[in-house]
Amino acid sequence: MTDLLKIEWLKVKAYRTFWILSGLFLIGVPLICWAYESILLNANQMISAYLSSFSFPKVWETAAWLGSWMSPVMGILLIISLTNENNFRTVRQNIIDGWSREQFFFAKYGTMVSAAIFMTAVMALTSLFFGLKAGRGSMGDGTEFIWYAFVQNMTYLSLAFFLGIYMRRAGIAIAIYVMYTYIGEMALMGLLEFKVKFHSSVFLPLECTDRLIPGDSGIVRNLVREGGAPPSKTTLQLIAFGWIILFGFLGWRKMKQSDI
């Protein structure tokens, strides 16, 4: 696996788009946290104190929640990296040069997991920075949100991975991805929650992890709740892993069986 990742690194280490989008995520996560912190502090000191969004332990959740708004940036990078291989037909060349189809798949999947680790690290460091700045609470509490952030990053990236493998054109895949992550799933969630059954939207691929890390939106969610116990964190994680495995399996099957 290390050898596969080294070759994947060769493919991107001098690729400008890779550095621009990764840099955008790296800067974007603390920036969005900073902006939210500024809004809370300037809007109402009481609300800010009540929420304690940037104090330990809540800051772990807040940074993961706000950071998820930047997650599609890394998803777009993954889609570009996968569709490039199709458009340049380098996926063919990699196989011709001596990779098996499984090796190609695992090189890409390994890249995706590495990206999820990078995203989680950025969110964790951002939490640490803002938490220490606030200077309240115990740093050791609430660290399970680092794991939840990783699971959330994996679901966002798995969806991108699936689209990148199945769609040849980067533009269309990115458009579908962005529309779905920012608008599509929100609309589906509303329909499922209020027209079908409350809490049925937890089975959507991104909603399951959005509920794992509700952040301050949890207050709004509680306000509109019509009753019924929400699914447990374990259930939400199981649903998330169900999607991660499904997207991974579909990608593997396509890679293994189809003409390239």
Partner 1 sequence: MEQTKILSLHQLSKRYGPVQALNGVSFDVPAGSVFGVLGPNGSGKTTLLAIVMDVLKANSGTYSWFGQSAHHTLRRRIGTLLETPNFYHYYSAVRNLEIAAAIKQHGHDDIERVLKLAGLWERKDSKFSTFSLGMKQRLAIASALLGNPEVLLLDEPTNGLDPAGIAEIRDMIRELGKQGTTVIMASHLLDEVEKVCTHVAIMKKGVLLTCGHVDEVLSSEDMIEVSAPDAGKLEQALNTIPGLRSLRRHNGGFQIVLDNGQTAEQVNAYCFEQGITLNYLALRRKSLEARFIELTN
Site residues for partner 1 per CB under 8 A: 6-7, 10-11, 14-17, 84, 88-90, 92-101, 103, 257-260
Shortest spacing between CB 87 and partner 1, in angstroms:
9
Name the residue nearer to partner 1 (CB basis): 86 or 201. 86
Nearest distance in Å: CB 256, partner 1: 9
Cβ 114 to partner 1 shortest distance, Å:
17
Question: Judged by CB, which is closer to partner 1: 168, or 233?
Answer: 168
String of DSSP letters for the chain? -HHHHHHHHHHHTT-HHHHHHHHHHHHHHHHHHHHHHHHHHHH-HHHHHHH-TTSTTHHHHHHHHHHTTTHHHHHHHHHHHHHHHHHTTHHHHHHHHT--HHHHHHHHHHHHHHHHHHHHHHHHHHHHHHHHHHT-S-TTTTTHHHHHHHHHHHHHHHHHHHHHHH-S-HHHHHHHHHHIIIIIHHHHHHHIIIII-TTGGGGSTTHHHHHHS-TTHHHHHHHH--SSPPPPHHHHHHHHHHHHHHHHHHHHHHHHHS--
Output 232 or 257, the one with its CB closest to partner 1: 257
Q: Which is nearer to partner 1, 96 or 187 (CB)?
A: 96
- Min dist CB 37 to partner 1, Å, is 38
Taking the least distance from each CB to partner 1, the nearer of 11 and 221 is: 11
In the bound complex, what is the minimum distance in angstroms from residue 141's beta carbon to partner 1? 45
